[in-house]
Amino acid sequence: MQLSVVVPLYNEEESVGPLVEAVRAALPASLEWELLLVDDGSRDGTVASIGAFTAADPRVRLVPLARNYGQTQAMQAGFDAAEGDVVVSMDGDLQNDPQDIPRLLATLEQGYDLVAGYRQRRQDDLVTRKIPSWIANRAIRAVTGVDIRDNGCSLKAYRRWTLDRMDLYSDMHRFLPALAAATAGARITEIPVRHHSRRYGHSKYGLSRVLKILADLLTITMIMWFRERPLTLFGTAAIIAFAIGAGFLTASAVAIWQIHAGMATAFVLPASGLLCILLGCYLLMLGLVAQVFLHHTRQDRASPPPIAVERFA
């Protein structure tokens, strides 16, 4: 199998038909492909709509989830079921255009492990979608150092070996390029893709997701930089706490001996200093516990080494 197209669907009964037709029309006949439609516990007629196609066309397959798990798990289910050497993910709401898939594949051939699409002339509401998305992408780019301008676009192409090194959980689908860089050492690039306005149904996203993304940034920072060296993160925080504490204690020593011994206000300074220093000790211990955890999970499960590709093959 050369190509698997993975589409998570949640309550998209009207979209299924046009989607399957669009994918069929977009992919060249010479290509060996499959279309995996992941039903994320829809409560409308999505499964029935998919059933109409799977019977007639063996290339179209249904991956039924037991309940509604959210987009990340739906994508992971599709990736796990996919048999292609290349896997393309896209949204089920017809906003992505399957006609871009051949271009994604061609870019992948130029020596990349992940090609992300970015939406040109995005057809969405400015205030509720575009501006929050712009802020989120800026923040993600700054924190991860992965140069992708549109993390929210689902249309992406992956080599099998990239996905083999990624395990998705929580709301990771927004950070897939960063995760691919951190865990697989993937070579990543992006190309412009078309974007259409929604034809059926309604968006399942709201403005609140921006706050969630900002909280997730902390998680992704951990994954990107400190997954294998938690003691560096906790230790650095501890050193900062020690420094502040030492500052307070110095100030209190000066206050006690130089100004007024026993002055009531002098109590505030040593108290603050002690708190800071003991916080530093606590952080250091947390880092050591994290190190214990890292060591034992690493012994349990031999994770595959990052992707290394021949340059002059």
Partner 1 sequence: MPEVSVIVPVVERPDPLTTVYQEAAAPLAEAGISAEFVFVSYPWFRPLTDALAALRAAGAPIRVLEVGHALGETAVLKAAAAEAAGQILATVPAYPQADPSGLPALIAQVRAGSDLAVGRRWPRRDSLINRFQNRVLHLLVGALGGGRLHDVACGLRAMRRDLLGQLPLYGDFVRFLPLLAMRDGYRVEEVAVPVHPRSMRGRLYSPGVYLRRLFDVLGLIFLFKFTDKPLRFFGLIGSALSSIGGALLLLVLIQRLAGQPLADRPLLLLGVLLMTLGAQAIALGLIGEIIVHLSAAGRRGYRLRGSQPSARPRAPAA
Site residues, partner 1 (CB under 8 A): 113, 146, 181-182, 184-188, 228-229, 231-232, 235-236, 239, 252, 262, 264, 266-267, 270-271, 274-275, 278, 281-282, 285-289, 291-300, 302, 304-312
Are 190 and 115 spatial neighbours (Cβ–Cβ below 8 Å)? yes
Per-residue 3-state assignment (H helix, E strand, C coil) for 249-297: HHHHHHHHHHHCCCCHHHHHHHHHHHHHHHHHHHHHHHHHHHHHHHHHH
Amino acid at 187: R
For residue 154, the minimal CB distance to partner 1 (Å) is 21
> Closest approach of Cβ 308 to partner 1, in Å?
4
Quote the CA–CA distance of 166 and 89 in Å, as a whole number. 14
For residue 228, the minimal CB distance to partner 1 (Å) is 4
Closer to partner 1 by Cβ: residue 75 or 188:
188
Type of residue numbered 169: Y
Name the minimum Å distance from CB 257 to partner 1.
14
The DSSP code for 197 is -
CB of 161 to partner 1, least distance (A): 11
Selection from 38, 15, 29 nearest residue 87 by Cα = 38
Beta bridge partners of 34: 4
Q: 33 or 175: whose CB is closer to partner 1?
A: 175
Rounded Cα distance between 187 and 173, Å, is 18
Structure tokens at 128: 């509720």
CB of 116 vs partner 1, minimal distance in Å: 13
Q: Which is closer to partner 1, CB of 58 or CB of 262? A: 262
Entry field: residues in the chain: 313
Smaller CB distance to partner 1: residue 39 or 113?
A: 113
**Least spacing, CB of residue 174 vs partner 1, in Å:** 18
Q: Which two tokens stand for residue 59?
A: 């290339």
Interior CA angle at 228 toward 214 and 241, to 5°? 65
Q: Residue 302: count other Cβ atoms within 10 Å of its Cβ.
A: 7
C-beta of 200 vs 267, nearer to partner 1: 267
Q: How far is the CB of 274 from partner 1 (least distance, A)?
A: 6
Which of 50/182 has CB closer to partner 1? 182
Q: What DSSP letter does each residue of 175-222 carry, written as one string?
A: GHHHHIIIII---EEEEEE-B----SS--S--TTHHHHHHHHHHHHHI
Of 197 and 236, nearer to partner 1 (C-beta) is: 236
Identify which of residues 67 and 311 has a Cβ nearer to partner 1 in the complex.
Answer: 311
User: Nearest to residue 5, comparing CAs of 299, 222, 27?
Assistant: 27
